[in-house]
Copies of this chain bind each other. A is one copy, B any other.
Amino acid sequence: MTALIGIDWGTTSFRAWRMGPGGEVLDTVGDGPGILSAAALPGGFAQALQDGIGGWLGTAPVIASGMITSRNGWVETPYLPLPLDASALAGSLTRHEGMHFVTGAVSDPDGPAPDVMRGEETEIIGHLAGGGGDGLFVLPGTHSKWAWARDGRLTAFRTVMTGEVFAALRDHTILGRLIRPGGSSDDAFRRGVEAGRQEGPLLGRIFRARTLALMDRLAPDHISDYLSGLLIGDEVAQGARDVTGPITIIGRGDLAARYRMAFDVLGMTADTAPPGMARRGLWDIARLGGLV
């Protein structure tokens, strides 16, 4: 019996889960269209939903989080201020087209560094719901998110554009000219992290990805890994300065492994959250919102 259908619907990704009465996963769809693709379909978001999980619809409440509630999504919902917990998100669900939408969060809206997220709050809530406790949470991605939690609530966060800037540097600056594709090199990545932790302006240190290669001290097929390490090393060294509590990486695959490696090079320990945090957050919010 299906108790809840949960969707994590991002800019370029769509993941959905059919859950039973205890929140257990009965079925998964992992490759539906993100909101950019969905919006371009003749039938828009409704068609994307029907195409992806049409067979599930009508059997249980549907709850969705992520960029689907942004200006370019299905329904735009206002950001919630910090500190934020699962109850606040549950109390702010937006009903639209028969579905329940989890809104995003805003940090420091009137201060010098305003920031926003849609989707990651649900993953962090999922971790806290599982007894994940306090500390720093790092969510790697095109735009990585650094979030702080205390007493089960999300208290602060910031966005770091490391992934997108890496691609722009590689594809649209002189740093890309010498790059040759090749196998992944952890050594080159670690060398980059060491350069990333150092003093001096970041936009000066990145030039080493060119000069070291020009001087035959960095192989053309290692430049990309070195540059990635340098940017992530700067992000981690600057971001985790003065952090004393536990650090948890919420993410999957190679990128999460790279962040863990960067923390390791810098002499810090970061744990990786078990998979399923988005689904778990959706379940918890739905439960508190009376949907299950």
Contact = CB atoms under 8 A, between A and B. Distances in A.
Contacts of A169: 165, 168
A115 B203 contact: no
A288 interface: no
A129 interface: no
B231 A114 contact: no
A25 interface: no
Interface residues of A, number: 46
Nearest to A108: B211
Given A114-B217, A173-B164, A207-B115, A201 B109 contact: no
A216 to B, nearest CB: 11
Contacts of A214: 116
A215 B114 contact: yes
Contact of A168 (B172, B201, B207): B172
Contact of A160 (B113, B158, B201, B217): B201
B116 A208 contact: no
A38 interface: no
A85 interface: no
Interface in A99-129: 109, 112-116
Given A115-B211, A174-B164, A195-B112, A239 B200 contact: yes
Contacts of A184: none
Q: Which of A114, A175, A198, A203 has the largest count of B CB atoms less than 10 A from its CB?
A: A203
Interface of A: 109, 112-116, 143, 146, 158-162, 164-165, 168-169, 171-175, 194-195, 198-208, 211-212, 214-215, 217, 231, 234-235, 238-239, 241
15 contacts: A113-B208, A114-B217, A115-B207, A116-B214, A158-B207, A159-B207, A161-B174, A161-B204, A161-B206, A162-B201, A162-B203, A168-B168, A168-B169, A168-B172, A204-B239
